[in-house]
Amino acid sequence: MRHKIISALLIIALVVGSGFAQTMKKTGNSGAAILKVPIGAKATALGAAMTTESGDVNQMFWNPAGISLEPGKTQVTFSYNNWIADLSHNAFGVSHSFGKWGTVAIGGMMAGVSDIDAFRDTQAGLEGVTYNTEPTFDFNTNFFQLSYARQFTDKLSLGATVKYYNETIDGDGLSALALDFGAIYLLGYRDLAIGARIQNLGEDPEYFYVPFSLPMVFSFGVSMSVIQSDDFSVKGYLDATKPLDAEQLVLTGVEMNLYNNIFVRTGYKFNYMGVTDKFQPRQSYQVSEQVWREHWWDRRESARTDEGLSIGAGVMIPYDDYKLQIDYAWTNFELMDSVNRFSLNFCF
């Protein structure tokens, strides 16, 4: 009975949360955009459809319910990301299972870029603000977090995260506290799982007296292996994600697993950024008729994606009770250079 009650409450929470997320739309009003950058090569290769993944320390950056491990197990992870515009973006995490008391993880992210050319307004306009005069400036940001998850039944796990966010631009900074919550439920058919996560719930920080919201995200996901055997499996991931400041996103991913040691992944983000470009018809001058005519076939709309297709691979190297996993992901950007990510996971 208790198991059924918890399951029912989870489903209600997912439905209510999904409806709430549909009402959120404040385009351009959120800040701390670095919190939107995916962490982990595996997650990125799967198109960020990570709501239902379990047993992975990297889930502390996605759905904290997914960090649950077997009793006594420990995971350590490090991710390297040479982000766009020469922005470094690295993360780390450590998790340990205390058996029936649950799993605890600590981790963080560090990002920044230095020596940015400063084009300063020589006529300062705000009273009480000290203006810097250096020819360059730096941008640095980081967050540190503590996550906790517990496996309440053999099917249901719940988790929460508290994070401290800090950002500094040209010597002026801000900080904020944020919370993440998540749930994962196994439906009992193969490894079919559903889950939900809500991230970056917190106070509104200010920059130069202007408040902005943290990039809150609600996501509902489902995943299942469509092919399962001892030597080969294929697993699909699907997330419906609603950011605070964008339209509804659909995140998809597929992972192929060979001999439980070699992984090939791909993913795609549909409707990313929620922007559609409208191409107006072109005109050409018809010499014989001496008139301008529009080309009807040029009238079209096209979805603009800053980040869409991603592919990646990984290899698991087992040794006794230890496992080392190396993951790589490549992400295509239409407007900027492509991005390469690397992650190391060590389990013991």
Tens of pLDDT along 257-299? 999 899 999 999 887 755 565 655 566 666 667 777 665 545 5
Where is pLDDT greater, at 138 or 327?
A: 327
Question: Burial letters for 177-194: b for 16+ Cβ neighbours within 10 Å, e otherwise?
Answer: ebebbbbbbbeeeeeebb
Q: Using pLDDT thresholds of 50, 70 and 90, give the confidence band for residue 22.
A: very low
Rg, C-alpha atoms of the chain = 23
What pLDDT does residue 294 have? 66
All structural domains of the chain? 2-115+134-270+305-347 (2.40.160.60)
C-beta contacts of 17-21 below 8 A and 24+ residues apart: 17/196, 17/198, 17/218, 17/220, 18/196, 18/218, 18/220, 18/240, 18/242, 20/218, 21/218, 21/242
What pLDDT does residue 246 have? 74
What pLDDT does residue 240 have? 94
Strands 193-202 and 87-97: unpaired
Res 72 pLDDT > 60: yes
Q: What is the per-residue pLDDT across 193-210, written as a single tens digit (0 to 9) for each? A: 999 999 999 888 877 677
194 vs 216: CA distance, rounded Å: 20
Res 36 pLDDT > 70: yes
Res 19 pLDDT > 70: no
81 vs 65: CA distance, rounded Å: 24
Q: If you average pLDDT over every residue of the chain, what do you get?
A: 84
127 vs 210: CA distance, rounded Å: 14
What pLDDT does residue 170 have? 77
Q: What is the mean pLDDT of residues 54-67?
A: 96
Q: Using pLDDT thresholds of 50, 70 and 90, give the confidence band for residue 88.
A: confident
Q: What is the per-residue pLDDT across 316-328, written as a single tens digit (0 to 9) for each? A: 999 888 999 999 9
% of the chain surpassing 70 pLDDT = 79
Q: Range with the lowest mean pLDDT among 1-15, 80-94, 320-334?
A: 1-15
Res 128 pLDDT > 70: no
Q: What is the mean pLDDT of residues 176-196?
A: 94
How close are the terminal C-alpha atoms of the chain, in Å? 36
Tracing tokens 């990301």 back to the chain, one arrives at: 81
Res 80 pLDDT > 90: yes
Res 116 pLDDT > 90: no
Res 4 pLDDT > 60: no
Q: Range with the lowest mean pLDDT among 74-83, 163-172, 285-294?
A: 285-294
What pLDDT does residue 21 have? 46
Answer whether 179's CB lies under 8 Å from 198's CB. Answer: no
Q: What is the mean pLDDT of residues 233-248?
A: 89
What pLDDT does residue 33 have? 83
% of the chain surpassing 90 pLDDT = 52
